[in-house]
Structure 1
């Protein structure tokens, strides 16, 4: 039994949400979706799993965030949760062996359940010119992936422009993200998640606000 399982307290075990029904098939399918939405920024992907939605409901995170973090995280990638989520924390520790980070700067992956509380982006690791991969990937739950103020995306994976209109992100997010662009290849990759749907915003994507 792994150290992560041995470290489980009775409270965390009681909160434990089930993992993938078919770990190999489900994690591969989720991974393909995660790659696809980053390769085609602004495209909305859907997480399709055999895991009943009711089994994920114990975690406050929706299916896209829950499955995405469970797929990407492992023993070497600390995860920071901006809001307490006992079921998600227990699942990450038990099923993925992932440690929980105490601060955004320590995290390889982060989940922000309430976008209004998103820390300043410079609180996250953005890598170094020599090791840009040592940066955070941040999942942010939004109220909706469409219906908000229109934004135009440009960059790799987009032929000309692609429009998105997520609802619920603070406006400062876009300004802080733009301030990171000159530091490429350093930067932060984002997934905006809502229920079982998500879209990717890699560091290479430029966003124009109308």
Structure 2
């Protein structure tokens, strides 16, 4: 196993149990209200050490979310050049990192503009759709992209959502996955201390 670089290690939660619970509830809220911006940093009001440690390296929303969700039983794939996030998840959550995208339960993608095809990740199986991957995708903005119409459970009629940094190729691939329900991929788009949830049940209109 690779050694953890303690000189760059990012601090974890102040209160491991309660902070993780608050972040987990925020993540559920984001998936239950697709397209809504949810502030993860609001669940960590006093965690200045974590913020200072991350400063400009990994979005707080991505790190706190993965810290709340992962443990030794959930393989994590990190699409990122340095080890800052991986070291922190291994140290604080005993997370197991994998180099196999298809094996990963959780995935962090540091650049939405250079991400692999969605076919590279697990979609689950009809008898076990819960084994599909959950993606955390770092984007430049949660409000400044091309507006697309989202509809489905948790959305009253429809909602216009504008996530920056995502290509039409991504949206076409994601639209193709909706036909595989209950299989598919759940996504969170992260920027700074906030995120937007996109569950597999949501339809996104792509021209």
Band of TM-score, shorter chain: over 0.9
Map of 1:180 onto structure 2 = 177
Match of 1:66 in 2: 63
Q: CA RMSD in A?
A: 1.3
Determine helix, strand or coil for the equivalent of 2:131: coil
Q: Counterparts of 1:110 and 1:12 in 2: how far apart (Å)?
A: 21
For 2:90 and 2:2, locate their aligned partners in 1 and report how far apart those are by CA, in whole Å: 8
Q: How many residue pairs align between the two structures?
A: 202
Question: Which aligned pairs between 1:99-110 and structure 2 lie closer than 5 A?
Answer: 99-110=96-107
Q: Structure 1 unaligned segments of length 5 or more: list them.
A: 1-6
Corresponding residue for 2:130? 133
* Cα deviation, residue 8, structure 1: 6.2
TM-score between both structures, scaled by the size of structure 1:
0.92
Indicate yes or no: 2:48 matched with 1:55. no
Q: Does the 8 Å contact 1:115/1:142 carry over to 2?
A: yes
Q: For residue 90 of structure 1, give the secondary structure of its aligned residue in structure 2.
A: helix
- Structure 1, residues 2-49: CA drift from partner, whole Å, max 9, x if none? xxxxx562x522221110011122111111110000011001000121
Deviations 1:49-107 (A, max 9, x none): 1211212227x211000100100111100110111332211111011111101021110
In structure 2, how many angstroms separate the alpha carbons of the residues matched to 1:14 and 1:79?
22
Please say if residues 123 and 184 of structure 2, whose CA atoms lie closer than 8 Å, have aligned partners that are also in contact: yes
- The answer to whether the 8 Å contact 2:189/2:195 transfers is yes
Given that 1:33 and 1:45 are in contact with CA atoms closer than 8 Å, whether structure 2 keeps it comes out as yes
Secondary structure of residue in 2 paired with 1:15: coil
Cα offset for 1:164? 0.6
Please report how far the alpha carbon of residue 147 of structure 1 lies from its aligned counterpart in structure 2 after TM superposition: 1.7
Distance 2:11 2:84 in 1: 9
Pick aligned residue for 2:13 from 16, 20, 44? 20
SS in 2 for 1:12: coil
> Deviation string for 1:131-159 (max 9, x for gaps)?
00011000001010012111111101111
The equivalent of 1:209 in structure 2 is 206
CA deviations over 1:102-125 (Å, ceiling 9, x no partner):
021110000001111211001000
Unpaired segments of 5 or more residues in structure 2? Answer: none
* Counterpart-to-counterpart distance in 2, 1:173 and 1:194: 18
Cα distance between partner residues in 2 of 1:85 and 1:200? 26
